[in-house]
Amino acid sequence: MPAQITVRYWAGARRAAGTAEESMSLNTIAELRATLNARAGMDRLATVVSFLVDGQQAGEAVRLHDGAVVDVLPPFAGG
């Protein structure tokens, strides 16, 4: 059964998504990336964003849990 999560978008990801946050039902970060990739305007960005789950960097295989907060971070320039 998919987890109920909150997805928060930052910087360019927020502009591309057209919202600051939304709720979704997904199992893994890989599913989230695929969902974002299927959206018009997010397709190019979805391939390069990073994800944090509850404040910790998360790779494709990370399983999501009910109540997780997933931050979607575009690449940042600078140093």
Encoded tokens for 73:
């971070």
**Residue 43 is assigned to a structural domain of this protein:** yes
**Residue 78 is assigned to a structural domain of this protein:** no
The residue to which tokens 């940042």 are assigned? 76
**Residue 61 is assigned to a structural domain of this protein:** yes
The length of the chain is: 79
Name the band, by pLDDT with cuts 50, 70 and 90, for residue 52.
very high
**Residue 60 is assigned to a structural domain of this protein:** yes
CATH of the domain at 23: 3.10.20.30
Highest mean pLDDT among 46-50, 62-66, 73-77 belongs to 62-66
Domain that holds residue 66: 3-73
**Residue 51 is assigned to a structural domain of this protein:** yes
Q: How many domains does the chain have?
A: 1
DSSP string, 42-77: THHHHTT-EEEETTEEE-TTPBP-TT-EEEEE----
Q: In 19-34, which positions are buried (b, 16+ CB within 10 angstroms) versus exposed (e)?
A: eeeeebebebbebbbe
**Residue 46 is assigned to a structural domain of this protein:** yes
Write down the pTM of the prediction. Answer: 0.93
